[in-house]
């Protein structure tokens, strides 16, 4: 019996936005997730009054006023601006690459001094058409920054040589000739007041949800419940890896409550050096200017992905993109399944892009 219009597999941002919009249009939805909670990777756990980002740092940012207005229907945002630091060979540097970084690295005080060094290095080491992350970084910012703040972090993060990674990844980071440590260039930024769960809880309010339910393990029975499926898991797993496995990068998080009020004086500190096994330490209270007597920190360890682990990042190199194209072609032939989100679209989406994708797919589906 098809009790629902949509069975939504995955209660992250894509699934929650889709469910919300479909419900608004009078459709019935059942949202399931194999985890024991809703919210996907934006889920936070409140530990003694501190919202702990259980699946890594999430900082909302967008340049798109419509998406900003959309999320502001559900929650207000604080004025947190992400300004991570990076520790490299015992020295702290500001990120993204800006006049503070250049001053810390070379002692320069003006943009023209910084530009002279960077342009010289680009001339010596850069290439015209960068084909991989290393070439892109050398062509964008030169050898010193690449070697001090990019190479080891990147190779640790992805478990691959920077020459084997796609160039676009490094273009996520701004390069700026002002003393401005804002990690993002977007107009709107912040952390939801009250935490991310407020967004997903509001999106899913009044909608039937079930946690601890694994779609692929109970496929026939679950598919029979709805006219259509919205699938937000790994696309290759959906098709039982018939064209081979796509590569992902996994993470392991070590959370710790510390009996001190301020551990590292910043929400995010990156660890560039290859001999430190984690890429960053988060101190969650600083996302919300917390004044608690204790603090919670999280170390983020990158890990090889295998099918029994959580997939966090798609590895969008040429080989994986070719494979993904086959899965995508196949997915387009499905009339009753909609694929969306970081894992089903195999894209390195930020939160605002996932919401954008979900809204576009919802419009396509509900107002054809
Ligand atoms: N990156 C780097 N050094 C840093 C931070 C980032 O080289 O200190 C590079 C690295 O390749 C990383 C990419 O920039 O994968 C994107 O970083 P971002 O902070 O956007 O990654 P996310 O927060 O999505 O993990």
Q: Render pLDDT for 209-242 as a digit per residue (tens, 0 to 9).
A: 999 999 999 999 999 999 999 999 999 999 999 9
* CA 95/CA 93 separation, integer angstroms: 7
- 254 CB-contact burial (10 Å; exposed 0-12 / middle 13-18 / buried 19+): exposed
In the three-class reduction of DSSP (H, G, I as helix; E, B as strand; rest coil), residue 313 is classed as strand
Cβ atoms of 213 and 15 closer than 8 Å: no
Q: Measured in angstroms, how far is the CA atom of residue 176 from the centroid of ligand 1?
A: 16
The tokens describing 221, both together, are 């029975």
Distance 150 CA to ligand 1 centre (A): 8
Pocket of ligand 1 (CB under 6 A): 86, 95, 149-150, 153-154, 157, 169-170, 172-173, 270, 272
Q: Are 139 and 108 in contact (CB under 8 A)?
A: no
Rounded alpha-carbon distances, angstroms, from residue 118 to 127, 137, 183, 210, 270: 14, 11, 20, 54, 23
User: So what's the pLDDT on residue 75?
Assistant: 97
Cα of 306 to ligand 1 centre, how many Å?
22
Known catalytic residue at 223: no
Q: Determine whether 17 is exposed, middle or buried from the number of CB atoms within 10 Å of its CB (0-12, 13-18, 19+).
A: buried
Q: The tokens of 8 are what? A: 């939504």
User: Does the global pTM surpass 0.85?
Assistant: yes
Q: Catalytic: which of 155, 236, 300, 345? A: 300
Distance (Å, whole) CA 31 – CA 109: 54
| pLDDT (0 to 100) of residue 206 | 98
Nearest-atom number in ligand 1 for the CA of 154 is 11
How far, in Å, are 4, 39, 153 from residue 30 at the CA level? Answer: 7, 15, 41
Q: How far apart are CA 100 and CA 85, in angstroms?
A: 11
Contacts of 247 (CB under 8 A, 6+ apart): 305, 314, 315, 317, 320
- Of the candidates 130, 44, 59, 41, the residue with the CA atom closest to the CA atom of residue 95: 59
Of ligand 1's atoms, which has the minimum distance to the CA of residue 57?
Answer: 23
- Which residues does 313 contact at the CB level (< 8 Å), separation at least 6? 158, 248, 249, 348
Cβ neighbours for 32, distance < 8 A, ≥ 6 positions apart: 7, 8, 9, 10, 11, 209, 210, 211, 213, 215, 222
CA atoms within 13 A on the CB side of 205: 8
What pLDDT is stored for residue 237 in this prediction?
97
Which residues in the chain come in under a pLDDT of 50?
none
The verdict on whether 35 is a catalytic residue reads: no
The residues, ordered by sequence, that sit 6+ positions from 88 with a Cβ below 8 Å of its Cβ are 148, 149, 152, 272, 273
**Of 230, 249, 236, 231, the residue nearest 348 (C-alpha):** 249
d(C-alpha 29, C-alpha 200), whole Å: 15
CA of 126 to the centre of ligand 1 (A): 20
d(CA 130, CA 171): 12
Q: How far apart are CA 77 and CA 194, in angstroms?
A: 9
Tokens of 175: 């390069």
- Residue 367: predicted pLDDT: 86
């Amino acid at each position: 019996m098809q009790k629902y219009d949509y069975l939504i597999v995955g209660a992250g941002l894509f699934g929650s936005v889709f469910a919300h919009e479909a419900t608004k249009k009078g459709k019935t939805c059942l949202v399931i997730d194999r985890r024991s909670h809703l919210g996907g990777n934006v889920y936070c756990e409140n530990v003694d009054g501190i919202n702990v980002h259980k699946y890594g740092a999430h900082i909302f940012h967008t340049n798109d006023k419509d998406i900003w207005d959309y999320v502001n229907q559900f929650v207000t945002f604080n004025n947190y601006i992400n300004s991570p630091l990076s520790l490299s060979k015992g020295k702290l540097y500001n990120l993204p690459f800006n006049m503070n970084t250049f001053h810390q690295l070379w002692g320069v005080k003006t943009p023209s001094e910084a530009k002279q060094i960077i342009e010289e290095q680009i001339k010596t080491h850069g290439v015209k058409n960068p084909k991989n992350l290393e070439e892109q970084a050398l062509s964008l910012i030169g050898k010193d920054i690449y070697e001090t703040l990019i190479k080891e972090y990147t190779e640790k993060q992805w478990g691959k040589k920077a020459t084997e990674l796609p160039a676009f990844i490094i273009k996520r980071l701004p390069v700026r000739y002002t003393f401005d440590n804002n990690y993002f260039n977007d107009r709107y930024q912040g952390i939801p007041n009250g935490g991310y769960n407020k967004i997903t809880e509001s999106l899913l309010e009044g909608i039937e949800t079930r946690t601890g339910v694994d779609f692929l393990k109970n496929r026939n029975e679950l598919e029979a419940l709805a006219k259509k499926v919205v699938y937000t898991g790994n696309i290759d797993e959906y098709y039982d890896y018939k064209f081979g496995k796509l590569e992902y990068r996994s993470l392991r998080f070590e959370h710790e409550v510390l009996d001190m009020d301020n551990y590292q004086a910043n929400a995010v500190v990156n660890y560039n050096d290859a001999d430190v096994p984690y890429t960053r330490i988060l101190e969650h209270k600083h996302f919300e200017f917390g004044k608690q007597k204790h603090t919670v920190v999280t170390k983020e360890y990158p890990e090889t992905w295998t099918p029994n682990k959580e997939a966090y990042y798609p590895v969008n190199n040429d080989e994986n993109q070719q494979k993904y194209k086959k899965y995508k072609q196949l997915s387009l032939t499905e009339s009753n399944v909609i694929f969306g989100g970081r894992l089903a679209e195999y894209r390195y989406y930020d939160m605002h892009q996932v919401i954008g994708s979900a809204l576009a797919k919802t419009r396509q589906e509900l107002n054809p």
